[in-house]
Amino acid sequence: MKTITAEELKARLNAGEELNLVDVREPDEHVSFNIGGIFLPLGKIQTMQTDDIEELKEEEVIVYCRSGNRSGQACLILETIGFTNVKNLVGGMNDWQAKYSI
């Protein structure tokens, strides 16, 4: 599984890159703070309900959660069902908020 750091992701977003972000947290976590992208909780990925991102199988997909654990699980599942370029945000939103929240 490939990874990406908060610093690398922030630099790419600041550069204006269009990225495929997938938030695998629970609804309350997503509402309280997110960095955009598609909201697709881990439970849906575990039950193969991935229609919302099916067209991204050949694209880079950056997956994030609170700490990086659930997104790591999601990456492994996505890889097994044919996604070719998934990356886990190391440290998740905890790391992101520690570095970039005011």
Structure tokens at 32: 């309280």
Residue 94, C-beta contacts closer than 8 angstroms, at least 6 positions apart: 66, 67
Q: What are phi and psi of 78, to 5 degrees?
A: -60, -40
The answer to whether residue 65 is catalytic is yes
Structure tokens at 51: 């229609």
Residue 6 to residues 59, 63, 65, 66, Cα–Cα distance (Å): 20, 12, 12, 12
Catalytic position from the list 61, 65, 75, 90: 65
Nearest to 42 by CA among 88, 6, 94: 88
Q: Which residues are catalytic?
A: 65
